[in-house]
A = this chain, B = another copy of it.
Amino acid sequence: MPQPRQMHLGVFVLGTGNHIAGWRWPGAAQSFEDLSVVQEIARIAERGKFDLIFLGDNLSTDPGMHPSFAARFEPITMLAALAATTTHVGLGATASTTYNEPYTVARQFASLDHLSGGRAAWNAVTSSGEKAALNYGREHPRHDARYEIAEEFVDVVRGLWDCWDDGAVVRDHATGRYIDPAKVKPLDHEGRFFRVKGPLPTSRCPQGQPIVLQAGSSEPGLNLAARTADVVFTVVQDLGEAQAGYQALKSRMARFGRHPDEIAVLPGVMPVLGSTTAEAREKLNRLQGFVNPGNALVMLSSRLGQDVSHYPLDALVPEDLPLPDTSHGFAGAMLAKAWRERMTWRDLFNLAGAARGHWVVAGTPEEVADTLQQWFESRACDGFNILPAWFPGAFEEFVDQVVPLLQRRGLYRRDYRGNMLRDHLGLPRPRSRLF
């Protein structure tokens, strides 16, 4: 009997919770600068047999931002620390293709893959926030230019990961030969944006190549993902839109010679659980009541990629607001919902404060499992990136109350079948294209 299609689950890690005021929940973790907090999150993720834990990133900050964006661990160092205290869960971190060098990024994720025994994942982002440019002394490239750079950047990183063939490290005690030089090649990349000779000082990764994550939903973002991504995070608010986005990505993979199953699409979702529907809604209301609207329009300006601070908080979001160049995913999904539901700026701020523009599902464990199952089976996604409102409680509730239902329904693994992230995703280990 063939194995039924299985969900993939990730968790979006922010120490103070994904909800902007999650840290105010009784018993919630208070900091994203405390290793014991993220170690606890990782333990819960492995208890729930999650595919991966994931960290976003920003290259600028402001004290008025989400607390875990304002004061946080740098993602690569944090995941490396977790490599030593976890055994199965994938470790995914964001690194920008606009503000890094491909040699450095390739090296750090290759190292993370070795440190973790094959669990590294790189979220290749183009950095939508133009304030990053001020920390790197340069101009912020426009959206299309960022994606042209990203296409080449990803190719260089993957090329560097291919410079060592399997079996290059021979450690021959008889002859004293440590490396077989025939199994190490330079990349000799000379492109429009990068010249990179290679090889890396790192032998072939346990996974062959670390997993590549992406989250772009614009036209160039979809092309980059269809060509190069293994996992795609999406921002959704509506089933029909999610199905259309899923189809738009999967259908274009053939152009690049790829099968639709080679990408797992994981929308972000914040589950809020209660023993009754009313209790779950009450919990969400209580969380929303913790939100301090003092900097609402500043925060919304950041999420939408344009200055909206001159609007009255209780005015309707105008239907002629332009979609910004900088960040299509969040702005597009949030504004579509605002227009569909005739939201005020205050409503939109509450939506953004809850899950930063991601989808919120409040209900009993059965109701939440039903909704996730419906989305999964109607091909709106291949699983979910879970955004617990606070840690560890809200994540434990999901793992202890919803995951067992998904398992009982045959939708989700009861245990890991391998030790590498590639195993969890059902992706084969690639051969080097240089040998």
Q: Which residues from chain B contact A378 at a C-beta distance below 8 Å? A: none
Once the chains bind, are A63 and B111 in contact (CB under 8 Å)?
no
Once the chains bind, are B78 and A81 in contact (CB under 8 Å)?
no
- Whether A167 sits at the interface, judged by CB under 8 Å, is no
Which of A30, A35, A77 has most B Cβ within 10 Å?
A77
Once the chains bind, are A114 and B33 in contact (CB under 8 Å)?
yes
CA distance in complex: A173, B292 (Å): 11
Contact stretch, chosen from A193-201, A267-275, A358-366, A397-405: A193-201
Closest B residue, CB atoms, query A71? B203
Closest B residue, CB atoms, query A173? B24
Closest B residue, CB atoms, query A199? B61
CA distance in complex: A72, B398 (Å): 39
CA distance in complex: A180, B60 (Å): 17
CA distance in complex: A107, B131 (Å): 16
Q: Which residues from chain B contact A31 at a C-beta distance below 8 Å? A: 169, 171
- Whether A39 sits at the interface, judged by CB under 8 Å, is yes
Among A89-117, those with CB < 8 Å from B are 99-101, 103-104, 107-108, 110-112, 114-115, 117
What is the distance, in angstroms, from A71's C-beta to the closest C-beta of chain B? 4
Once the chains bind, are A63 and B114 in contact (CB under 8 Å)?
no
Which of A24, A80, A85, A194 has most B Cβ within 10 Å?
A80
- Contact status of A135 and B84, CB under 8 A, knowing A24-B173, A112-B77, A181-B63: no
The number of times this chain is found in the oligomer is 2
- Whether A74 sits at the interface, judged by CB under 8 Å, is yes
Once the chains bind, are A24 and B176 in contact (CB under 8 Å)?
yes
CA distance in complex: A275, B413 (Å): 58
What is the distance, in angstroms, from A75's C-beta to the closest C-beta of chain B? 9
Once the chains bind, are A115 and B71 in contact (CB under 8 Å)?
no
- Contact status of A73 and B173, CB under 8 A, knowing A85-B84, A100-B104, A181-B64: no
Among A170-212, those with CB < 8 Å from B are 171, 173, 175-181, 184, 194-203
Q: Which residues from chain B contact A71 at a C-beta distance below 8 Å? A: 164, 168-169, 179, 201-203
Q: Which residues from chain B contact A112 at a C-beta distance below 8 Å? A: 77
- Whether A315 sits at the interface, judged by CB under 8 Å, is no
Which of A39, A81, A99 has most B Cβ within 10 Å?
A81
A194's partner among B115, B137, B178 (CB-CB below 8 A) is B137
- Whether A343 sits at the interface, judged by CB under 8 Å, is no
Which of A58, A82, A131, A180 has most B Cβ within 10 Å?
A82
A115's partner among B30, B35, B111 (CB-CB below 8 A) is B35
Once the chains bind, are B115 and A196 in contact (CB under 8 Å)?
no
- Whether A376 sits at the interface, judged by CB under 8 Å, is no
What is the distance, in angstroms, from A105's C-beta to the closest C-beta of chain B? 10
- Whether A290 sits at the interface, judged by CB under 8 Å, is yes
- Whether A134 sits at the interface, judged by CB under 8 Å, is yes
What is the distance, in angstroms, from A92's C-beta to the closest C-beta of chain B? 14
Closest B residue, CB atoms, query A135? B103
Among A131-183, those with CB < 8 Å from B are 131, 134-137, 164, 168-169, 171, 173, 175-181
Once the chains bind, are B115 and A73 in contact (CB under 8 Å)?
yes
- Whether A76 sits at the interface, judged by CB under 8 Å, is yes
Once the chains bind, are B179 and A67 in contact (CB under 8 Å)?
yes
Q: Which residues from chain B contact A104 at a C-beta distance below 8 Å? A: 99-100
Q: Which residues from chain B contact A54 at a C-beta distance below 8 Å? A: none
- Contact status of A177 and B84, CB under 8 A, knowing A71-B203, A101-B136, A135-B196: no
A84's partner among B16, B81, B131, B196 (CB-CB below 8 A) is B81
Among A24-72, those with CB < 8 Å from B are 24, 30-31, 33, 35, 39, 58-61, 63-64, 67, 69-72
CA distance in complex: A57, B274 (Å): 52
Once the chains bind, are B179 and A74 in contact (CB under 8 Å)?
no
The 3 closest A-B pairs by CB, nearest first: A137-B195, A80-B80, A61-B201
